[in-house]
Structure 1
Amino acid sequence: MNVAELEAWVEAQGLRAFHARQIFRWLHQRGAASYEGMTDLSKELRARLPEIAPLRQPEIVEERPSSDGAVKYRFRLHDGLEVEGVFIPESDRQTVCISSQVGCGMGCAFCATGTMGHVRNLTAGEIVGQVEAIMARLRAPDGRRPVSNVVFMGMGEPLANLESVIRAAEILLHPLGPGFSRRHVTVSTAGLVPAMEEFVRRSSVKLAVSLNATSDEVRDRIMPVNRRFPLDVLLSACRNLPLQHGDRVTFEYVMLGGVNDSEEDARRLLRLLIGIRAKVNLIPFNAFPGSAFARPSRERVDAFLERLAAGGVSAFVRQSRGASQGGACGQLVTAARAGSTPAAGEGG
C-alpha cells in the first residue's frame, strides 16, 4: 500500500491516520522486519497489528556471492514460491536487480526464466520487499543506504504486472520510504506497447526496452512478443513516448553469437533508432543449462560497439554479473526446483 491507501486502511481499523506514516516509514525506510520493533507505536497497537495485517516479506533463503562481487539472492514468498534478485556493486553505483513475477510468460528463447512459464504476479509489497531485504542484509553500521539504483530486470515481464510495478516504483521513490531518485529506478520490458505508453504516462521512473534483434525474422524467433508488436510498431511507440525532459529510452541488446551480432545488425540498429532519444546497453550472452545460444567473441562485441559509436548512438557494454554463481535470471530457482546446483560460468 502507498501512504494514502495505508492511511485509509488504518482509519478503517479505527486507528489514527498518523499511524500510517509511522508504519510506512518503519517498513520502507528503516527496514523493520516486525511490528515489535516499531518503538514509536504503542505496545497495544504493536500487539494488535500482527493479527489484522501480518507482515509477509520475502525471505532470503539462499545467498551466492560471485567472484566479480555480485551477490545472487533466492527469495521465498509467503506461499512457498520463489523469485530471485541480484546485488551488483560497481565503482559509481550499487544496483539491485529485482523480479516482478514468479516465472514469465514471454517465452524468450535466451532466458532461463522463460522455461518456467508464468506462475503468478508479485504484489507491490513483494517487489519492494526484495529491495528492502537486500538492503537490510547489506546495511552499514552508520545506517547509510547500501543501494543506489534499482532495476526491474529479474524474473518476469514487469509491464505484464503493470499495477503492482507502478505501485512498487511509487513506494521506492517516496520520501518516507527508501527515497530513491526517479532517475535511479529503471523498469525493463520485452515490448508490450500499450502498457509501455500507459507506464510512461503514470510513472516517472525510467523505461528500458529489451530489443535483442534488428529484424522481425530474428526477433520473432527469439522473442515471441514480436509477433504481437513487431519492430515497426515497437519503435514507432518509442518515438512517441511522452518522456520527461532529458530522459532517454534505454535499449537492452543481448548479443547472441552468430544470431544478432553482425556488422549488418549494427547498421540496421542505427537505422531503427533514428528519431529516438536512445541509449544502448550491449549485453554479451552467458549460457545457461539447456540454452541453444553462444556468447559472441570479444572482437564481435567491440566491432558492434564501435559501429554504434561511429553512428552517433550512445552505447555501452554491460557485462553480465554473478556468472560464477548461476547469474542468469531464474537459474537459481530452476536449479532449486530440480534439486541441483548451477554450474560455475553458466550465468546470464
Structure 2
Amino acid sequence: MSKADKKQDIRRLSPEELKAFFVQNGEKAFRAKQVYEWLWKKSAHSFESMTNLSLGLREMLKEYFELNGVTVDQAQLSNDGTIKSAFKLHDGHLVEGVLIPTEDRMTACVSSQVGCSLSCKFCATGYMDRKRNLDAAEIYDQVVLINQQAMEKYGMPLSNIVFMGMGEPLLNYANMMEGIRMITSPEGLNMSPKRITVSTAGIAKLIKKLGDEEVKFNLALSLHAANDEKRDRIMPINETNTLEALRHSLNHYYRKTRNKLTFEYIVFYNFNDTLQDAEELYQFCKRVPAKVNIIEYNPISEADFLNTEEDRLEMFRKYLEERGVTVNVRRSRGKDIDAACGQLANKKHDDHVITQA
C-alpha cells in the first residue's frame, strides 16, 4: 500500500494484513497486535489515543489509514428509561439504536442498514429508502456506544443484543456475520453468542445458509401472519419467500444449530387477531419448533393499522398456550420517543433529548 492510494478504513484489515503492513514499513510485527487491540478491545476512535505507540508510528498510521468511528449525534430518554440514539456514520448518514433497560437485563437493539428495502407495510423504517449496508465496524460501534450508555445511566453492562433496528440483517449477511464475530470474539467484546438474536423478515436461502454455517446465535422470524395471503399483504418479501419455503429453511437451521427459534407476531386489530389466525399460527408452530413473542403494535403515521384490543390479545394468547405453545407478550418500550418496535425512522423529540453532538 502506498501513500498515494485512497486511505482505507483500518478496521477493514485482518490481523494478518496489519502485520504485513508493519513489516513492509520496517516495523516490528507485534505492533499489529497492539493496534488491533486498540481498534477492537479498547474501541479507539482515533490514532492519537493509542498511547503505547510512538508519535511517529501514530503519524504513519494517519498517513495511510482512516478510522471511521460511529458517534452519537443525539440521544433521547423515554419516560420508561429507554434510550434511543441517532448514530452518525462517517459519511453523514444516520441510523438508530436503542437501549432497553429492565431490572435484570440491558438489551441493545442495533441497526444493520441505513434504511430498508423490504417495505413492510406496518414498519416506519420500511417507508425509508435503503441507502447502504453498515459495515462490521459500524455494527460493532453501536454495541460499544449503547454499552457505554448502559454503564453510565444504569451501572450495568449489556446483557443482550438484538438485530431488530433499521434494515434486514440477512441482506447485509457478510457484514452482520463479521460484526457478530467481533462482538463475540475474545479480541473484541467477548459476549456470548447465546445472548444475541438476529431478527429477519424471512429470506429462506439465507436462513438455510445460517444453518449450514452452524451459527451460535438465536434467530427470530418476523412472522405476523401464518397465512400466505395475509402475509403477502403486509410483507411483500413473502411473495418470493412463502411460508412453506420458510418452514423448510427454518427446520434446516434448527437441525443444524439446535438454537432457539422465535416467531414475532404483532397482533393487528381486525386483521390477524382472530381464533382462526391463532389456529393457523398453532399449525405453523407444530411444524417448526419455536416460541411465540406476541408484540404490541406501535402505530405509525404512514399506515392505518391499529393494535388489537386487550381481550382479543388475551384470547389469542390463551388459545396458543392451551395447545402447548410457549408464548410471551412483549409490551412496547420507548413509544413516546418513537423507539418502539417498528417506529425507527430518525424522528426527533426535542423535549426528550439528553445529548446532542
Q: Aligned partner of 2:315: which letter?
A: A
Given that residues 254 and 261 in structure 2 are in contact (C-alpha distance below 8 angstroms), is that contact kept between their aligned partners in structure 1? no
Listed one character per residue, the Cα deviations across residues 250-278 of structure 1 (whole Å, up to 9, x for unaligned) are 11112211111112111111101113221
Pairing of 1:82-231 with structure 2 (within 5 A): 82-139=94-151, 146-202=157-213, 203-231=215-243
Bigger shift: 158-167 or 191-200? 191-200
Structure 2 CA distance for partners of 1:242 and 1:312, relative to 1, 3 Å:
closer
Return the offset for 1:54.
1.8
Q: Aligned partner of 1:186: which letter?
A: T
**Structure 1 residue aligned with 2:16:** 7
Return the offset for 1:188.
0.9
Listed one character per residue, the Cα deviations across residues 285-341 of structure 1 (whole Å, up to 9, x for unaligned) are 0112222101112222222222221111111011222111112467564436xxxx4
**Structure 2 residue aligned with 1:260:** 272
Structure 2 CA distance for partners of 1:257 and 1:51, relative to 1, 3 Å:
farther
**Structure 1 residue aligned with 2:247:** 235
Q: Aligned partner of 2:205: which letter?
A: P
Given that residues 71 and 88 in structure 2 are in contact (C-alpha distance below 8 angstroms), is that contact kept between their aligned partners in structure 1? yes
Specify the SS of the correspondent of 2:305.
Answer: coil
**Structure 2 residue aligned with 1:291:** 303
Structure 2 CA distance for partners of 1:155 and 1:276, relative to 1, 3 Å:
same
**Structure 2 residue aligned with 1:317:** 329
Listed one character per residue, the Cα deviations across residues 52-100 of structure 1 (whole Å, up to 9, x for unaligned) are 2221111111111111111000011111111000000112211100000
Q: Distance in 2 between matches of 1:12 and 1:94?
A: 39
Q: Distance in 1 between matches of 2:347 and 2:230?
A: 29
Q: Aligned partner of 1:68: which letter?
A: D
Q: Distance in 1 between matches of 2:12 and 2:33?
A: 7
Specify the SS of the correspondent of 1:171.
Answer: helix
| Unmatched segments (≥5 aa) in structure 2 | 1-9, 353-357
Given that residues 81 and 101 in structure 2 are in contact (C-alpha distance below 8 angstroms), is that contact kept between their aligned partners in structure 1? yes
Given that residues 320 and 327 in structure 1 are in contact (C-alpha distance below 8 angstroms), is that contact kept between their aligned partners in structure 2? no
- TM-score normalised by the chain length of structure 1: 0.89
Q: Distance in 1 between matches of 2:108 and 2:36?
A: 21
Q: Distance in 1 between matches of 2:169 and 2:28?
A: 34
Bigger shift: 155-164 or 285-294? 285-294
Q: Aligned partner of 1:60: which letter?
A: V
Work out the percentage of aligned pairs sharing the same amino acid.
Answer: 38
Return the offset for 1:3.
9.9
Q: Aligned partner of 2:277: which letter?
A: D
CA RMSD of aligned residues (A): 2.4
Structure 2 CA distance for partners of 1:279 and 1:16, relative to 1, 3 Å:
farther
Given that residues 94 and 114 in structure 2 are in contact (C-alpha distance below 8 angstroms), is that contact kept between their aligned partners in structure 1? yes
Given that residues 3 and 21 in structure 1 are in contact (C-alpha distance below 8 angstroms), is that contact kept between their aligned partners in structure 2? no
With a CA cutoff of 8 Å and minimum separation of 6, indicate the structure with the bigger relative contact order: 2
Specify the SS of the correspondent of 1:241.
Answer: helix
Given that residues 335 and 342 in structure 1 are in contact (C-alpha distance below 8 angstroms), is that contact kept between their aligned partners in structure 2? no
Given that residues 62 and 73 in structure 1 are in contact (C-alpha distance below 8 angstroms), is that contact kept between their aligned partners in structure 2? yes
Return the offset for 1:243.
4.7
When Rg is computed on C-alpha atoms for both structures, the one with the higher figure is 2
- Count of residues in Structure 1 that have an aligned counterpart in Structure 2: 338
Q: Distance in 2 between matches of 1:23 and 1:303?
A: 57
Q: Distance in 1 between matches of 2:84 and 2:144?
A: 15
Bigger shift: 5-14 or 313-322? 5-14
Bigger shift: 68-77 or 251-260? 251-260
Given that residues 325 and 342 in structure 1 are in contact (C-alpha distance below 8 angstroms), is that contact kept between their aligned partners in structure 2? no
Q: Aligned partner of 1:32: which letter?
A: A
| Unmatched segments (≥5 aa) in structure 1 | none
Q: Aligned partner of 2:264: which letter?
A: E
Structure 2 CA distance for partners of 1:127 and 1:243, relative to 1, 3 Å:
farther
Q: Aligned partner of 2:21: which letter?
A: A
Q: Distance in 2 between matches of 1:85 and 1:46?
A: 31
Given that residues 228 and 238 in structure 2 are in contact (C-alpha distance below 8 angstroms), is that contact kept between their aligned partners in structure 1? yes
Quick check: 1:62 aligned with 2:71? no
Q: Aligned partner of 1:167: which letter?
A: E
